[in-house]
Chain A
Amino acid sequence: MTLTHEPIEGEHFIVVSETTGNEWEIVVGLEVHCELATVTKLFCGCPNMFGDEPNTNVCPVCLGLPGSLPVLNENVVELAMRLGRALQCSVEPSVFARKNYFYPDMPKDYQVTQFDRPINADGWLDLPDGTRVGIERAHIEEDTGKNSHAGGSGRIHGADYSLVDYNRAGVPLVEIVGRPHIRHPEQAKTYIDELRAILLTTGASDAKMEEGSLRVDANVSVRRVGDSELGTRCEVKNLNSLRSLGRAIEYEARRQVDLLETGERIKQETRHWDEGAGRTRAGRSKEEAEDYRYFQEPDLVPLVPSAEWIAAIDAAMPPLPAARRDALALASGLGVTESSVVIAVQRDLDQLALAAIAAGGDGKRVLTHVEHNLSGEGSAELGPDAFAQLVGLELGGQLTATQAKTVLAEMVVSGRAPDVIAAELGFEAMDSSELEGIVDGLIAESPEEWSDFCTGDDKKRAKLQGFFTGKIMKATKGQADGKAVAALLESRRAESL
């Protein structure tokens, strides 16, 4: 049986079976672990540092030595609550639990986490495309140490010996469990982008996927379009970049559709993404998975943050990406999902754009420059009034789009006024008769090309339009307005036919 898997355009990623014509929908829920950016670890005073000499940031508590006891770091609670509130969760009285399993990177052979009573519950995250992804919970837990295997294949099986670095043991994590509301690999990537922006905005984490301070597991299932029940899911691990995330989801969905279309069942299991091979491989089966024997951690007391504490967090909450996009959309008159709006917030240029608009700059032009001509870095010299003035010159016809871009680049460097820069560069509005004279002269110079331009097919014409535009721009030293040139060429063509 052969299948084609052409995605259908639109919000949902649909896999279609060629033989049966069945349409399958992808359903994804993401679990994100992120390390909180505290100075010290979750239950002791050891530094929370990445990349130090192995086993230097350790003490009896994070090594789980006999007799040691955990003491909760208040800053962890603060950051976890900030994140939770930013994800619209309610902060609940919570308890810690022990998740019991043997693994050498776990000093106590249990992980202290939150199980049935997490600190943050029931929130959501709005994506730039307007999708609302539910957040089931965002709870606190401790990180494990790190194993490395020497000799043999470098994997645990067949290694000569293994080493464990406990510097990471006891580093505070928040696990953010998203509901299965994602329907497209690209949407999964957007979700992580958006979540990362929130983590950075709230100061909860530096959220570096490559360094492992943000780790993503994807629960992927498929179902027939129109079905309301969820299919059996597989949890895909080892996703070290956004690219891996998108590829893995797509691969996994296709794998599952193939199985289902040949009458097989999906086995609920953990699968590992192999970036090199571009495929997922089966890991531990959930059916044979260990029983973690969760129970309340008796060495810690229930965590009940006061209403005052929660109120203080809300009061100090910085504006979040979704709210910033709303504000920018409102001010610019553009849609909230418009790429220039999304990008302005991503690049942290929304405040500048808002101020430029407030100073009289046209919203659309301002955001076009933000999207295409500003990087976010090194824009400090650019004042909103000058930015608005530049856009005014452009709209008034005194500067072409190309000239405006050049002037803007200079403004970013020097902070000087746009009219001064334009005058220095010799940018002046070109009067139309001057332009007509130049264009007619160039047409006369290249009669063969002109004839081809007038009578050729679309492809030929497009090519020759580029030829003439290039010559005109060269002759006018870039001062001609691109739109005016195109209009003029078209009118001369119509005249000659």
Chain B
Amino acid sequence: MSAIPSTAIEIAAAVRSGSLSAREVLDDHLARIDARDGEINAFNLVMVDEARAAAAAVDAQVAAGEDPGPLAGVPLALKDNLCTHGIPTTCSSRILEGWRPPYDATVVKRVNAAGAISIGKTNLDEFAMGSSTENSAFGPTRNPRDTSRVPGGSSGGSAAAVAAGFAPISLGSDTGGSIRQPAALCGVVGVKPTYGLVSRYGLIAFASSLDQIGPFSTTVADSALLLETISGYDGRDSTSINAPSPSLIESLGEGVDGLRIGFVTELMGEGIAPDVAARVRQAADALAAAGAQIGEVSVPAAAYGLSAYYLIAPAEASSNLARYDGVRYGMRVDAPTTAEMNAATRTAGFGDEVKRRIMLGTYALSAGYYDAYYGKALKVRTLIVRDFERAYADFDLLITPTSPTTAFKFGDKTADPLSMYLNDICTIPTNLAGHPAMSVPFGGGADGMPVGVQLLAPALGEATMFRAAAILESAAPAIDEVWS
């Protein structure tokens, strides 16, 4: 067997040229999964048969002289909250037990049409609610770099799958940091695109006004390629932006000369581990060395992002998750009356964190409390948008840590939900603003675990963001480089 390249771009090039078959690529990755996923638990389901059929189809296309597409033969892992036709889609929840969607999510259709091989469904915090993948009904995913530590969450399975080499690329969803934070903790690239750039059709909703699908990869270029593939208008999603997909790969080599990049002061102080903060400064220096102008910028309302988020997201979730009532699909616990059946089903089917957020959200929307909680959170959201607009008047991009710390140990934060929520303090403001942001690995922390640097851009500023990410990638120290 010829050596299998590690990136999607190289694999696709080899498969398209006929020098490597999709089957060989798939077998190699299935072997890696077989060897190590018992320990990592990145996957809820490995789609062996479907993946083999897809790989055979790609190989047949190549043999027939057809081009299978830009992701030809590239194994790709799907977060298990993306609907796959006829294949169980669980959100890592008992409540969806046995449900097989009768349709594919738009992103699934698009990656399949581009020749990618969907290799499996990855583990997540139940309904994407969490920052460690410890809230999965099917057991936690482990960080491939140190299996005593969490991979982050909620897209922990998709991040770990890429970090462990189970697939060169994967898709996750990001509501408050659920792509960027696990990317940082696992040492891979993760992107949260502009709200509306990628269709949400077929993404099982957590908080609809915040959810956005995005890529994981080991390289910046692979994320650019995957994002180009999945983005673009979709008539099935009313919030989809009606504009052409951005050209990201093209602009990757344009550098950052003359770009104005701002440190967000509110997200560099208290609560950020010193080793993480030091890496972010080092990253800024690298950007400066490449010609960018670095300055400090204040986004005052960002400090209230966490509070606003933990009202808005649970409020929407309380409504989005109402449909899991035992009537139509998934789990049902029988009881004498419909209302009792609803309650018994939901009691048995949802985990603690999901129940906590449903209750939070129900409370926040209740008559008499709406104005004080949900209503006020919406106002904070408006302020955050305004503060970002002000910041982007002076800067092209912003830079912050992705996560306040490197990957923590299992059980460290499960006893105190608030300490877990604080993990998302740097990532949440962009979701509230609807802007794009991405995490790029940049060396390691004092514990030898990866550090992620977050780049933020105004709406539809993906191309500029990726230019800076490419610079960081080339300047990044090795993760195991000794911390000084």
Contact = CB atoms under 8 A, between A and B. Distances in A.
Interface of A: 60, 63-72, 98, 100, 102, 104, 107-110, 156, 162, 164, 291, 293-295, 298-301
Interface string B441-464: 000000000000000000000000
A293 B366 CA distance: 5
Given A108-B323, A110-B319, A102 B201 contact: no
Contacts of B365: 100, 293-295
A63 B329 CA distance: 11
Contact of A301 (B91, B99, B239): B239
Contact of A108 (B105, B209, B322, B338): B322
A102 B238 contact: no
A63 B207 CA distance: 19
B244 interface: no
Contacts of A72: 238
Contact of A299 (B81, B99, B105, B239): B239
Given A102-B322, A104-B325, A69 B200 contact: yes
Give the 9 A-B CB pairs with smallest separation, nearest first: A109-B322, A298-B209, A293-B365, A298-B208, A66-B204, A67-B83, A67-B202, A291-B367, A67-B204
Given A60-B103, A298-B208, A102 B239 contact: no
A342 B83 CA distance: 58
A110 to B, nearest CB: 5
Interface in B286-324: 315-316, 318-319, 322-323
Nearest to A102: B342
A300 B323 contact: no
Most buried by B among A104, A107, A301: A104
Interface residues of B, number: 44
Nearest to B322: A109
Contacts of B10: none
Contacts of B209: 298
Interface string B84-114: 0000010100001001011101000000000
A293 B342 CA distance: 19
A291 B366 contact: yes
Nearest to A108: B323
Contacts of B208: 298-299
Nearest to A156: B338
Contacts of B239: 298-301
A301 B240 CA distance: 10
B417 to A, nearest CB: 22
B362 A293 contact: yes
A67 B327 contact: no
Given A293-B366, A301-B239, 11 more contacts: A60-B103, A64-B328, A65-B103, A66-B89, A68-B201, A69-B237, A71-B235, A71-B238, A102-B325, A110-B322, A299-B239
Contacts of B236: 69, 71
A69 B238 contact: yes
A102 B339 contact: yes
B319 A100 contact: yes
A295 B367 CA distance: 11
B85 to A, nearest CB: 11
A162 B89 contact: no
A62 to B, nearest CB: 12
B466 interface: no
Contact of B327 (A69, A164, A300): A164
B189 interface: no
B167 interface: no
B205 interface: yes
Given A108-B323, A109-B322, A298-B208, A69 B342 contact: no
Contacts of A69: 200-201, 236-238
B50 to A, nearest CB: 19
A66 B83 contact: yes
Contacts of A68: 103, 201-202
Contacts of B327: 104, 164
